[in-house]
Amino acid sequence: MFAKLVRLGRDAEVRYTPQGDPVASLAMVYDIGFGDKKRSQWIIGTLWGKRAESLGPYLTKGTQVVLYADDVEVEQFMKKDGTQGAKLKCRVSDLSLISGQSQQQAPQQQQAPQQQRQPQQSPHANGSYQQQQAKQAMQQQPAGGFDDGFDDDIPFRQTHSS
């Protein structure tokens, strides 16, 4: 099993076999090395079945995916200039889209109007409930003031020496 974070070098090409089975051809690339010795390694993959058909619109050039592949092999060929070349080929057993992609890379769909109500966020989404309350209390305090009644998670208080 080969697992690697890769970028798509071009949009996926989804085709159908004469029996009607969908197959997607993927050209993927990942970097090897660091600094001046960094180079790109291309790998050509095929994804079969309904997964190929359903993911096809999302597999666009530049999209990052985690590739899980079987049957990885090196195919040697002669380049047009007469030199020996080689490429990696594989059968994609699975892949995971990496979140954080821009909406422009998603399939062409109707964009929801910005005026729609945003979903409510849980107070636990960005920290504990106490941290959320502390942020709200800090925002409500008058500028330059210190609220001695404010209780936080720090187990000690600053003492003033006379």
pLDDT at 158: 54
pLDDT in tens, 121-133: 444 444 454 555 5
pLDDT at 139: 53
pLDDT at 8: 95
- Just give the CATH number of 2-98: 2.40.50.140
pLDDT at 85: 84
Answer yes or no: are the C-beta atoms of 37 and 43 closer than 8 Å: no
Q: Which residues contact 38 (CB under 8 A, 6 or more apart)?
A: 31, 32
CA distance 15 to 37: 37
pLDDT in tens, 30-54: 999 999 999 889 999 999 999 999 9
Q: What is the 3-state composition of the chain as percent helix, strand, coil, each rounded to the nearest 5?
A: 15, 40, 45
pLDDT at 52: 92
Give the residue ranges of the chain where pLDDT is below 70.
99-162
pTM of the complete model:
0.57
- Strand pairing report for 39-48 and 13-16: unpaired
pLDDT at 161: 58
pLDDT at 136: 56
40 to 31, 63, 72, 96, 159: CA distances (angstroms): 5, 16, 17, 21, 59
pLDDT at 1: 87
